[in-house]
Structure 1
């Protein structure tokens, strides 16, 4: 409603839509709906309530926004694919200019929901029970698989999907995402946590032209000298080593003892595996962390340093849950949820680019939020200066 009064055309949501060719896939009223939802997210830090969109957008009623998400005739995958193409262009351009590697980061999170009663009629679709590592218990909700692309500090979302075990496993979903990538401009790495470190993902990464660096479960079996026939679990092998066998290194201002094993796992040959302890917790119970690299020519410190790029996905989850309603969305149909997640990802990317050179979500979000507030004040001033009755202004602002 107010945005175009103060925000430059280059930074406006309308111009962002034009760059993504959204006018090919949405009618003008549909574009205004998407813009209203995005502005509502930006205006107050969104908690997922559709009523917030109606409150913040003139001539928008809660039911019209609900109908737009659930019944309107448009294809959210076209918007997501257009955004994906733009992200690929930005990341590959960054890699060409800087000669830096491209990282493809994959992880999942849970959007927890309240379990409905047995008598509930309008339940949220695609919800099920999932193991929450964060809470250490089984929770009810959606498990959402996210992938990001990163190069030289620029981190942008590539995909967001609801995991449904009845349709496809997370490993298969991840393989499909890796296979969809173009070959990296320079070097490319797939970065994952230990859940995804398996033969299928290793192979898909190599076939797509990427190396793989990931965490590894400490109960995986290796075959070092003396254990060639039966092998030994990583956590058991670590207890056979002395502190003199380890190197003390610094990664992101933290010191670690690390040991580099080059050899075989049961499902893959000739890999580098790093055994790591925090300096103050050497061989303490539960302190061991292990990491794998398919590229054995990388030195251990390089492997650990590159793995830390995986943590870029944690701020994505935090920001989307805190500001864009990833934890609190209240739409119920599968179609509505997919559309909501698509718009949320579009908005996240918009805020990243709104921050200009910093490419920080929080910076862009606050800049866009402040510009919307300023535009609202300017609109009120202009309306009053032009003789608009105060009652009409109140009505338009929905505070009559």
Structure 2
């Protein structure tokens, strides 16, 4: 986070529940040094808003945002407390997210929806490493490494585009191409056929 701050980049990051921040307790409004899990307990249930996330499966989370101060930082930060139930007692999963985005932008809904998109980055890396050889390179220069990465990104983009538009399925598949793997296998079939025809 310090590196991102030094480069003046906006971020959303997860924090541990035992991280201490300077926040206000609800009844008296006094500023205290408090752990995040204790801060969550001090909030009223009405402060949590239900937000529906459109992931692979629809999921509802409850979010409350609090403005806090961190040690070593002059500006305040927004903390989002995210639960999988309407109350802390019922919740089996509680996450604490921090952002340095401005208060006008950093609403609970924006933080949660933006943070949930990180899963697609993980999906890309898993598929690019496993199927497209992202980690299988032997180069001696940065220029060659960049070329390798660009080829992998182009191949991934092309296959996803074919999957989404149905281009491969029309001619080279006899089943729906719901996953990246299905689309890649249909693409390989098309390339093998065309290569054979060319030979």
Unaligned runs of 5+ in 2: 166-177
Match of 1:246 among 48, 51, 57: 48
Aligned equivalent of 1:297:
104
Look up the SS of the partner of 1:282 in the other structure. Answer: coil
Contact 2:13 2:97 in 1 (8 A): yes
Structure 2 contact 48–86 (Cα < 8 Å) conserved: no
TM superposition score normalised by structure 1: 0.37
1:350 paired with 2:149, answer no
Give the number of aligned pairs. Answer: 175
Q: Distance in 1 between matches of 2:147 and 2:37?
A: 41
Cα deviation for residue 349 of structure 1 reads: 2.1
Map of 1:1-400 to 2, 5 A cutoff?
A: 198-206=1-9, 211-226=10-25, 228-229=31-32, 231-252=33-54, 253-268=58-73, 269-279=75-85, 282-283=88-89, 287-293=93-99, 294-298=101-105, 299-325=107-133, 329=136, 335=140, 343=148, 346-353=151-158, 355-356=160-161, 358=164, 362=180, 365-366=184-185, 368-380=187-199
Match of residue 173 from structure 2: none
Q: TM-score, normalised by structure 2?
A: 0.68
CA contact (8 A) 2:69 2:77 kept: yes
8 Å contact from structure 1 (residues 205, 212) kept in 2: no
| Conserved 8 A contact 1:260-1:274 | yes
Measure the CA separation in 2 of the matches of 1:271 and 1:361: 39
Which residue matches 1:165? none
Preserved CA contact (<8 Å) 2:61 2:85:
yes
- Distance in 1 (CA, whole Å) between partners of 2:190 and 2:94 is 48
Structure 2 distance, partners of 1:224, 1:288, is 18
- Distance, in Å, in 2 between the alignment partners of 1:354 and 1:276 is 35
Residue 346 (structure 1) shift? 1.7
**Structure 1 residue matching 2:82: 3-state secondary structure:** strand
Aligned-residue Cα RMSD (Å) equals: 3.6
Work out which structure has the larger RCO, using CA pairs closer than 8 Å and 6 or more positions apart in sequence.
Answer: 1
In the TM superposition, what is the alpha-carbon distance from 1:218 to its structure 2 partner? 2.6
CA–CA separation in structure 2 for the residues paired with 1:361 and 1:267: 46
- Whole-angstrom distance in 2 between the partners of 1:305 and 1:225: 26
Q: 1:352 to 1:367 in 2, by over 3 A?
A: farther
Whether contact under 8 Å (2:133, 2:152) holds in the other structure is no
Structure-2 separation of matches of 1:236 and 1:221: 9
Structure with higher Rg: it is 1
User: What are the Cα deviations for residues 94-153 of structure 1, in whole angstroms up to 9, with x where unaligned?
Assistant: xxxxxxxxxxxxxxxxxxxxxxxxxxxxxxxxxxxxxxxxxxxxxxxxxxxxxxxxxxxx
> CA separation in 1, counterparts of 2:121 and 2:71?
29
Q: What is the CA deviation profile of residues 348-379 of structure 1, one whole-angstrom value per residue up to 9, with x for unaligned ones?
A: 42231355474899376345312211123313
